[in-house]
Structure formats: C-alpha cells, structure tokens
Structure 1
Amino acid sequence: MIFQLGCSHGLPGIFACLEGAAAIHFQDFNAEVLQCLTIPNVNSNVPSFQRPALQVTKCDAGMEIHFFAGDWREIHKLLPYAQNIDVSTGKGLDAQYDIILMAETVYSISAVAHLYELIKMCITPSHGVVYMAAKKHYFGVSGGTRRFLSIVEKDGVLASSMVAEVGDGSSNVREDQTLSLFFLFLFFNLLPCGCGHQFGHLPLIWRIKYCNRN
C-alpha cells in the first residue's frame, strides 16, 4: 500500500499504479488540487480509472485508489490506516502503508513537525519506508531537508540515509533521501502527464525508516 503526501499532480503515485501497486492513496491540502490536477492525471494515465470525485475507487484490475484532502495535523482522522495511535510513541497501531512518497513537502518550517508525526502514524513499523525528495533549504520559509532531518534525528525513532544529490552547479541543491531507480524515474518526470506538467530537476533524495531495521 502506497501513500503520496502533498501529491499535487500525483506522478509518483500514478507510476506506482502503472507498476501494479494494490492500493494508492493520494493526499493534498486542497481538495481543488485533487479535483483539478491529481484526478485528471490519474484518469489520463491509469487504465479503467474514471472517477472524478474524492472517494475510494476500485479499478477493473482490482486496484484501490483513494484521494484525501486536508491538513497534516488532522488528515490522520480520515485515513483508514492511521487512526489508532499509541500515545506514548506516536506510532500508528494499525499503520499499513508500505511506502510513503513525498516531494517538496518540507519547505515550511511551521509544518515539518506535523508532517513527521503523520509519517510515524502511517508507515508500517516492520518494513515501511519513506522516500523524500526536497531541497536542503527553502529561502524565505526556512524549511528544507536539514530542518526536517534534524527533527527525525532528535526523535530517534526513524533513521534516514541519502540516496542521491542532484544539482546543476548553480541552483539550490535538492536531496533525495533513499530512493531506488524506480523513484528517481518518477520524480524526474519520465511519466506522461495529462496536463503536461514538468517537475524539473529535484536535487536531493532520502530514505527514512524505523531505526531498528537494517
């Protein structure tokens, strides 16, 4: 089961759909983004999906696709696998998301703590992993991978590793915390998109998972 946070056009989740994922959940702060961008892109790229509404849809192939709109502080109340929380650790007792995908989600210093708590509620402790692509620093809003990863390190529950650092020699470098070629593929926008949107280069990729796992 895959969860894309801050999905916007939804390209990573769409790629996962095309690769045979059993269930994909898309989340964005604005319902309008899901209705005007994400859902049309899913319609354009995923065979047998034709449902322009914020609800669970079963494709002919048996895939579950679901769209959620809301703030990271409250969205867990809507998610089917992040409602039963261990108050002492913040972990989701029913968490079943195998993979969480997110790009450019750590730009706001005021939101990264809520994002981190949501991640702990959602990922499966035994094998869940988060794939994050973002810049080291976002000027003007003070967020970035450094600020987010400092929260991860201080909490001590999850651990991160960098997979790739991509730069053009002049712009702000983005970091990608643990991704495979699969994730690099979708983040570098090699997937056709109904709206013709281009992500452009994404400088840093990271992988985040529970500390007691190799």
Structure 2
Amino acid sequence: MSPLFFSSHSHSNGFQLGCGHGLPGIFACLKGAAVIHFQDFNAEVLECLTIPNVNANCLKKSQNLATDVADQAELRFFAGDWSEVHQILPHIVTNGKDTNYSPGPDQSAGYDIIFMAETVYSISALPSLYKLIKKCMSRPHGVIYMAAKKHYFGVGGGSRRFLSVVEKDGVMAASPITEVADGSSNVREVLKLSYK
C-alpha cells in the first residue's frame, strides 16, 4: 500500500528509520496510518527534534474530525543502533534467523511501509541497515521508500552502494520513483523496494 493511499480507516503501520525531523512519518500519520514508529540513533535527536515536530504536526486538530490525529494513531519513538534496535521494536518478523523470512501463523508481522531518507551514506552501516529492514518489513506486501543521494562523496556510501547489497541478497527488487538533479549538487533519487 502506498503511503499516498492511507485511508482514515487504515490499519497500515509505518516505520521511519533514521528519522531526524520525521517528515515522512508525519505525512503517513496525517494520511491515516494506524501505527507510525520513528527511529534514530540518537535519543537527543528524538527528544529535541522529532518529538516536537511530530507534536506540532500530528497533535493539531484534524480539519475533518473532532479528535486529534494522534489519538487515532500509535506514535512511538525508538533510539538505538541499527544492529540492535530490533530488540525493542514491537513489529518484528520473528523466525529465529537474522536474515531470512519463513512464513508463520502471523502473516501480519512487520511494518507495512518503511521510510528512509539520507540513511545510506556510511558503507560500513549498510549491512546492518539491510538486516534491520528485513527484520522489520512485513512480507510479502511490505514496501520501502528510500530517498538518498546516488553517491555520498567523501564517505563512499549512497543509493547505488545500498542497491548492490540488496541485489547481492537477491530477495528484494528496487524500482525508481523519481530522480532529482538540479545541476549544482549530487543527484538524488527516490526508490521503492519490495520483496520479489
């Protein structure tokens, strides 16, 4: 389900990795997601930036409803490293293995939509990020929306590097949504990833 098509009665859940300001998660909340969880490495980012921004945008009275938007959605915040944060997340695909999925009785485990923006800049963090995504993404219909630079000069990461990790594993496919090239800075792209 695309985040653009959340309905006011949606039971979809979303997860924003490396959330910073939390804009994609806020958008999903305003569009009717039942659950939005925000994750960042630093608790201070969540406390000083994400939570105030979520409160300013999601706690406003909805124009069409008599209740707060946040009263209808579960909003939670998690701080931690990508290699460990799965231990405290409530929507995890569990099968006893870190990288593989095996269908079980609870097919709804995991997040329906994962949002990422500017999270793939560090080459050394890409394997941990990808493992976390596989632990968190519902299967078979979960999707990831990733916005990133193709290359992060000076640190070596980028969307192309991340896609090479995804392609090597062979269980997900990526499709381009848009590319932003203003001629004065690095090319950015938005990609959608899903299970094959």
TM-score > 0.5 by shorter chain: yes
Specify the alignment match of 1:120 in structure 2: 134
Equivalent residue for 1:206, pick from 170, 179, 191: 191
Q: Hey, which bits of structure 1, 4+ residues long, moved more than 4 A?
A: none
**Is residue 2:174 matched to residue 1:168?**
no
In the alignment, which of 70, 77, 91 is matched to residue 67 of structure 1? 77
CA displacement at 1:91 relative to structure 2: 3.1
Unaligned runs of at least 5 residues, structure 2: 1-12, 62-67
Quote the Cα distance in structure 2 between the aligned partners of 1:60 and 1:26: 14
Cα RMSD after superposing both structures: 2.0
**Per-residue CA shift, 1:131-155, capped at 9, x if unaligned?**
0000011011100011100010010
Q: 1:6 to 1:60 in 2, by over 3 A?
A: closer
- Deviation, structure 1 residue 85: 3.5
Deviation at 1:90, TM superposition (A): 2.9
Q: Which residue of 1 aligns with 2:18?
A: 6
1:141 equivalent in alignment to 2:151: no
Pairwise CA distance, 1:60: 6.1
TM-aligned CA deviation for residue 80 of structure 1: 1.0
Do the aligned partners of residues 72 and 85 (structure 1) sit closer, same or farther apart at CA in structure 2, a change above 3 Å counting? farther
The 3 A distance-change label for structure 1 pair 68 and 43 is same
Once residues 51 and 15 of structure 2 are traced to their aligned partners in structure 1, the CA distance between those partners, rounded to angstroms, is 15
Relative to its length, the structure with more helix (as a share) is 2
Partner of residue 97 from structure 1, selected from 111, 117, 126:
111
Partner of 1:35: 47
Q: Distance in 2 between matches of 1:34 and 1:84?
A: 26
TM-score normalized by the length of structure 1: 0.76
Given residue 195 of structure 2, which amino acid in structure 1 is its aligned partner? Y
Residue by residue, what CA displacement relative to the aligned partner does 1:3-36 show, whole Å, maximum 9, x if unpaired? 0000001011111111111010000000000000
Q: Tell me the CA shift for residue 96 of structure 1.
A: 2.3
Alignment partner of 1:110: what SS? helix
Q: TM-score, normalised by structure 2?
A: 0.83
The 1:24–1:159 alpha-carbon spacing in structure 2 relative to 1, beyond 3 Å, is same
Structure 2 CA distance for partners of 1:45 and 1:59, relative to 1, 3 Å: closer
The percent identity for this pair of structures is: 64
Q: Which runs of 5+ in 1 are unaligned?
A: 50-57, 175-203
Measure, in 2, the Cα distance between the counterparts of 1:105 and 1:118.
Answer: 13
Q: 1:196 maps to what in 2?
A: none
- Rounded Cα–Cα distance in structure 1 between residues aligned with 2:73 and 2:168: 37
Partner of 2:87: 77
Q: Work out whether residues 38 and 78 of structure 2, in 8 Å CA contact, stay in contact via their aligned partners in 1.
A: yes
Q: Secondary structure at the match of 2:140?
A: coil
